[in-house]
A and B are shown apart, each in its own frame.
Chain A
Amino acid sequence: MKFTLPWLREHLATDADATAIAHTLTMIGLEVEAVADPAERLAPFTVAYVEACEPHPNADRLKLCTVRTRHGTFRVVCGAPNARAGIYGIFAPEGAVIPATGQVLKRAVIRGVESCGMLCSAHELGVGEDHSGIIELEGPWEIGTPAAVALGLEGPVFDVAVTPNRADCFGVQGIARDLGAAGLGTFRPREIHDVPSVGRPGPAIHRAFPAGEEEVACPVFVGRIIRGVRNRPSPAWLQRRLRAVGLRPISALVDITNYVMFDLCRPLHVFDAAKIRGDLVLRYARRGERLVALDGRTYELEDGDIVICDDTGPISLAGIMGGESTGVTEETTDVLLEVAIFDPVRIARTGRRLGLESDARTRFERGLDPAMVMPGCEYATRLILELCGGEPGPAVVAGRVPQERRAFDFRTSQLPRLGGISLEPAEIERILRALGFELAGGPEVYRITVPSWRRDVEGEACIVEELTRIHGFDRIPPVPVTRVEAVSPVRLTPAQRLRADARRAAAAQGLLEAVTWSFIPAEHAQRFGAPQPVRLRNPISAELDALRPSLLPGLLQAAARNLARKHERGALFELGPRFLEGRPGAQRTTLAGLRFGDFAPRHWSEPKRPVDALDAKSDLYAILRDLGVRTEALSVRREAPAWYHPGRSAVVALGQRVLAAFGEIHPLILERFEIEVPVCAFEFDLEDLPQPKARKGRTRPPLEPLPYPPAERDFAFLVDQSVAAGELLEVVRRAGGRLVREVRLFDVYAGKGVPAGKKSLAVAVRLQAPDRTLTEAEIERVATHIVEEAARRLGAVLRGAS
């Protein structure tokens, strides 16, 4: 909502300057987004006179103007077709900032001729759209007159972000009322007198809505005919004012409707009465009907849009925009003025569907003051008579102006209870009355009647808001919120703690935490475990049209983006929701990570190698271990989901329960994501981890004393390539029995010295007894059993022992 200071002063007697007004507005809830003073921005620009104009010696389209300015006479190179001797224009001196471009004007040599300053177009000054030529002022003007004065700009201009509840503040009068209540001046509502009518009324008006709906759809519709008007351009003051708030002056009749709309928050419409065929009928549109609106576009109507019709069908889209066929023109002599109330819900719905924004819609859909219908009609009529002449007929009223006013009791104790302040009854009464509330009773309980323009005020809490905002939120003393306990107790639930730990555990493995969208392309969702993806009805793009069933597509896309930026390797993880179904609660908290490209950057200390499934396994195991999972109890099964490489992936289970998956990403998936380096990944849901047992204490079991020396034996087994290392380690562990402290695979080798189809697995076994030093014989017995078992179960033979 924009308005100017002089306009405001018509409703508010105040000496306050723009800064004070802007500050007060913001502090009472009418946030000022900008105060623009066109005079300030245009300060360097002044009226100048073109004394002479001759062709540029080196350019056909350019001219050399001799310009008399406040700063002296200069030669200006100008390309405007209308530049000529004897005109008054607006001169920009060297050093001025051109509003349209923000650039500083510099002295320049143009095609060999020095140019000093510039003659400006309306576009360059930001005061109009015209950039076909320079501004021509109707002379004569005194040289050096400020541009703002010569152009008749009104300012300063306030731009207020009106919150949706304050429908009344889409008019200058409403804003002035709030400022008056806040003590910034004296509110002066516009005095509106009835205009006596002459002659016959205009067309009859019928409301034709389904039974019982007309009081909602259109409780009142006033049509007043004014005959014999002369529609012409508005006077300068009105044009200036409309331009200042961003409206384009069109003709006096149209400008008056806009003016009253901005002044009193009372949108109006004017029909050319001569173009109306028959009576006016208000009804719901029927699907298939069309309307060419004043913006020249054709709108397809739907059942339930409110329209104003004549015998030809819809001629206006109620509360949003009038129709072209009955619009007023310079030739209009009989005008029908419309003042009405329509159902805000329907106006909003129609406007939204048609994508049709208008100042009228903004006001209608927030709810208008019914008590302003008749005064709005009278005020507009008077302006029309003043500016266009004519004779007003009697108003035709369909329906009636709703009179209902909300009333409730307000206990003043609610102010300290909710607002944290107390006010004297006199101050409470002053504030509320200034805002238009009627009060009875008091001082403990007031009967409050809400003004007709404040449909947002519903109860005591609203009155607390009115009192606190006008008194000033700044004047509410802050009170610290203290906790009850001396020592802060644990606030996180175990699941919340687990999440925080999981993030840190993943980062500790060298993974960088990413945050990617919860939505992904449906096609990706299908490939990552959701054959029927949960789709959005209104995605922001086709790339983001389904809820993610896995975090990996997002991370793969991130990897692909990084590769495209020449980050040739990397490691990422994300912890966040994945979605099983499209309903509340059908989501899991998942940790997923991936590495792509080489494991490490090239470095003197390590040979370069691409990542593989075991890097993902290492990340996974380290994270699970940090989260309290006994990783030595995990088993590995080759059952990983389809997006993994079938031979280089697995799931990890604790007993029968699958916890996680890891592996290299399937080459076809990589191709889809246009990734040309290997990628390994892991993923698990935090909900699947074994829940930590509730424990009373934090004591740990005592450390088992092992005072007797350990013995270490190494075994190099030759096994078939198909034998899994994990199986061998398990066999060794079992065969070793209770004396085994540790089994460690320290070498895997195939190649020279090892028969084809075989591989060598070297295992170190550490044996130790808690109560004695092991004898050679004992150690030998265990070692022999290990070798026998490995041979019996896996066909392993000791290398070099054949």
Chain B
Amino acid sequence: MSEARRQVEELRERFLAAVQAAADSESLERVRVEALGRRGRVTELAKGVGRLPPEQRREVGQAVNALKRELEAAIRARREVLAREALERRLREERLDVTLPPRERPEGRLHPVSHVLDEIVAIFADMGFAVAEGPDVEDDFHNFTALNIPPAHPARQMQDTFFLETTDAQGEPYLLRTHTSPVQIRTMEAGRPPFRIIAPGRVYRRDYDMTHTPMFHQVEGLLIDRRTHMGHLKGCLVDFVRAFFERDDIPVRFRPSYFPFTEPSAEMDVGCRRSQGQLVVGAGDDWLEVLGCGMVHPKVLEMVGLDPDVWQGFAFGLGVDRFAMLKYGIPDLRTFFEADLRWLRHYGFLPLDVPTTFAGLSR
């Protein structure tokens, strides 16, 4: 064996051992530089190959190249081992207190009245109703006269009205609408039949006690065409309450009642029972009045220029807040308007709770 070959062999043993002995990537790098760097021992050896006698050049050259490759492979392998060891060490050391409470995210809610209103709209939209609107400030004509409530009618006592200091052209004070029924009138005045609308909104009555607030929410419904009768009225509202309460077995009954703007007039009751102080809608031993309805009074149709011998249909009005209370077991109407943060978080709905009839009204 030539001197050169011996030298190669010597370096090989020495550096392979050094590579294996390198305890971290820095020492491994030092070994690499010492062996394979620009002035490394193996590099120097390779540079010397040219000076060897021709008969040795080839053999030694091949041996040095083989050594280079071997060392490079060994270093690569060692580097991977060291990296893996380093990672394992890091992963052993890096520990977070995963019991720390998460960072807070916004937690907004919709008011139950908004959600329930969306539920009601979803159901009636599915039955072909559009949504109509009217002003909160009304005139005497739309709130009373056009609805067949003449000035001395006892029904005007039933609804204690807020009047404004401003007056209309006739000198009658403007008022805050006592029901959403004027939207019926405005809709029929502005359009042409058939009509199929619901009209949600704020309504106002001079009443403030355990069960009444001076402002609450109603939804008015109106269906006018050439053929709709009381059977449709019943069908529509029974379908509605069963969809709304998400129960097919809710007992429903219609009782004759009185509203100046409908004839015949009815009130709808749903079955209910009292359980642990809470009113639960469904099969039970008691009835609960939930809405008023009836066939639109011929005088109302005449008032908006429709011939009652041609056009006919029904109207209804329901209290949104009350429906919210019944469905979600909210005990006190007054709390709806207090904006108590705990209450809003407790009874409110997430912005992603979008009620639809196909996906469900609520979760």
Cross-chain contact A481 with B236 (CB below 8 angstroms): yes
Residue pair B165, A518 in contact (C-beta under 8 Å): no
**A468 in contact (CB, < 8 A):** yes
B111 located at the interface, meaning its Cβ lies under 8 Å from any Cβ of chain A in the complex: yes
Chain A, Cβ-Cβ closest to B111:
A513
User: Could you say which residues of chain A place their CB within 8 Å of the CB of B351?
Assistant: 503-505, 507-508
New contact pairs (13) apart from A27-B256, A479-B232, CB-CB < 8 Å: A29-B256, A163-B257, A459-B298, A476-B231, A478-B238, A481-B223, A488-B126, A503-B114, A509-B108, A513-B108, A547-B137, A579-B136, A584-B139
B202 pairs with A481, CB closer than 8 A? no
* Among B8-16, B54-62, B271-279, B334-342, the stretch in contact with A: B334-342
A297 sits at the interface (CB 8 A): no
Q: B101 an interface residue at 8 Å Cβ cutoff?
A: yes
Shortest Cβ distance from residue B200 to the other chain A in the assembled complex, whole angstroms: 10
Minimal Cβ-Cβ distance residue in B for A481: B236
Contact assessment for B339 and A464 in the assembled complex, using a CB-CB cutoff below 8 Å:
no
A534 and B125 contacting across the interface, CB-CB below 8 Å: no
Interface size class of A (residues with CB under 8 A): 35 or more
Kindly provide the distance from the CB of B310 to the nearest chain A CB, expressed in whole angstroms: 11
Name which residue of chain A comes closest to B118, CB basis. A500
Give chain B residues whose Cβ lies under 8 Å from the Cβ of A535: 164-165
Q: Check A514–B155 contact: CB distance below 8 A.
A: no
A750 touches B (CB below 8 Å): no
Which of A474, A518, A575 meets B136, CB within 8 Å?
Answer: A518
Does the CB pair B125–A27 fall under 8 Å? no
Q: Is the beta-carbon distance between B214 and A345 smaller than 8 angstroms?
A: no
**A754 CB, min distance to chain B CBs, angstroms:** 31
Q: Inside 8 A of B129's CB, which chain A residues have their CB?
A: 491
Most buried by B among A492, A516, A582: A582
A492–B125 alpha-carbon span in the complex (Å): 9
Write out the residue numbers on chain A whose beta carbons fall within 8 Å of the beta carbon of B106: 508-510
Asked if A376 is at the interface of the complex by the 8 Å CB criterion, the answer is no
* A-B contacts at CB below 8 angstroms, number: 271
Those 3 A-B pairs whose CB atoms lie nearest each other, nearest first? A510-B106, A29-B256, A483-B128
B232 x A420 contact (CB < 8 A) = yes
Which of chain B's residues have a CB closer than 8 A to the CB of A485?
128
- Interface CB pairs A-B, < 8 A, 28: A29-B255, A29-B257, A166-B258, A344-B152, A348-B154, A349-B152, A366-B154, A420-B231, A464-B263, A464-B295, A465-B263, A465-B264, A468-B264, A479-B235, A493-B131, A506-B108, A513-B348, A515-B336, A515-B337, A519-B162, A537-B165, A544-B214, A567-B342, A579-B137, A583-B166, A600-B104, A601-B104, A603-B101
Tell me whether B348 and A577 are in contact (CB under 8 A).
no
A307 to B107, CA, bound (A): 66
B100 at the interface (CB under 8 A from A): yes
Whether A28 touches B256, Cβ cut-off 8 Å, given contacts A513-B110, A583-B166, is yes
Contact of A480 with B by CB under 8 A: yes
Q: Would A476 and B113 count as touching, CB distance under 8 A? A: no
Q: Are A536 and B254 in contact (CB under 8 A)?
A: no
Q: Which residues of A in the span 428-443 have a Cβ within 8 Å of any Cβ on B?
A: none
Interface pair A518/B204, CB less than 8 Å apart:
yes
Give the distance in Å from the alpha carbon of A605 to the alpha carbon of B163 in the complex: 53
Contact (Cβ within 8 A) A515 B164:
no
Q: Which of A57-101 contact B (CB under 8 A)?
A: none
Closest to B350 in A: A507
Given known A164-B154, A504-B351, A510-B107, contact A582–B231 (CB-CB < 8 A):
no
Q: Which of B148-167 contact A (CB under 8 A)?
A: 152-155, 157-158, 162-166
CB <8 Å contact, B131 and A562: no
Q: For residue A280, give the distance in angstroms from its CB to the closest CB of chain B.
A: 26
CA distance A72 to B215 in the complex (A): 58
In whole angstroms, how far apart are the Cα atoms of A482 and B342 in the complex?
41
Interface string of B14-25 (1 = CB under 8 A from A): 000000000000
Q: Is the CB of A418 within 8 A of B230?
A: yes
- Give A29 to B267 CA distance when docked, in angstroms: 9
For chain B, the count of residues having a C-beta within 8 Å of the partner chain is: 92
In chain B, positions 214-244 with a C-beta closer than 8 Å to chain A are: 214-215, 223, 228-232, 234-236, 238-239
A461 and B263 contact, CB distance less than 8 A? yes
Query: Do the beta carbons of A537 and B164 come within 8 Å of each other?
Result: yes
Minimum distance in angstroms from A497 CB to a CB of chain B: 10
Query: Residue among B113, B235, B264 with the most chain A CB within 10 A?
Result: B264
B127 in the interface (beta carbon within 8 A):
yes
The verdict on A738 contacting chain B, using a C-beta distance below 8 Å, is no
Interface string of A382-408 (1 = CB under 8 A from B): 000000000000000000000000000
Q: CB distance A504 to B135 under 8 Å?
A: no
Chain A, residues 726-750, CB within 8 Å of chain B (1/0): the string is: 0000000000000000000000000
**Closest Cβ neighbor of A536 among chain B residues:** B162
Does A572 reach chain B (CB closer than 8 Å)? yes
Task: List residues of chain A with CB within 8 A of the CB of B232.
Answer: 420, 479-481
A538-B342 Cα distance, complex, nearest whole Å: 33
Q: Is B297 located at the chain interface by the 8 A CB criterion?
A: yes
* B206 adjacent to chain A (CB < 8 Å): yes
Q: For the complex, what is the distance from the CA of A547 to the CA of B168, rounded to whole Å?
A: 17
Tell yes or no: A31 within 8 A of B by CB. Answer: yes
A476-B230 in contact (CB<8A): yes
Least CB separation from B154: chain A residue:
A164
Complex partner residue of B126 from A483, A503, A514, A537, CB under 8 angstroms: A483
The interface residues of chain B lying within 8 Å CB-to-CB of A561 are 338-340
Question: Chain A: which residue is nearest B321 at the CB level?
Answer: A515
Given A348-B154, A512-B108, decide whether A480 and B236 contact each other with a Cβ distance below 8 A: yes
Chain A residues contacting B234 (CB-CB under 8 Å) are 420, 473, 476-479
Q: Is the CB of B176 within 8 A of A518?
A: yes
CB distance from A653 to the nearest CB of B (A): 27
B174 within 8 A of A: yes
Contacts of A696 in B (CB 8 A): none
Chain A residues, Cβ within 8 Å of B173: 537
- Residue pair A603, B155 in contact (C-beta under 8 Å): no
Q: How far, in whole Å, are A577 and B201 apart by their CA atoms in the complex?
A: 10
B265 on interface, CB distance cutoff 8 Å: yes
Contact B174–A583 (Cβ < 8 Å): yes
Residues of A contacting B354 in the complex (Cβ-Cβ under 8 angstroms): 504
The listed residue (B110, B113, B154, B266) touching A507 by CB distance below 8 A is B110
Q: Are B258 and A164 in contact (CB under 8 A)?
A: yes
* 0/1 string, A410-454, CB within 8 A of B gives 1: 000000111111000000000000000000000000000000000
Is B82's beta carbon under 8 Å from chain A? no
**Assembly CA distance A562 to B339 (angstroms):** 8
Q: Is A109 an interface residue (CB 8 A)?
A: no
Chain B residue nearest to A484 in the complex (CB): B128
Question: In the complex, what distance in Å separates the CA atom of A584 from the CA atom of B172?
Answer: 13
On whether A536 and B163 interact (CB within 8 A), knowing A478-B235, A512-B348, A514-B339, the answer reads: yes
A590 to B247, CA, bound (A): 36
Closest to B158 in A: A164
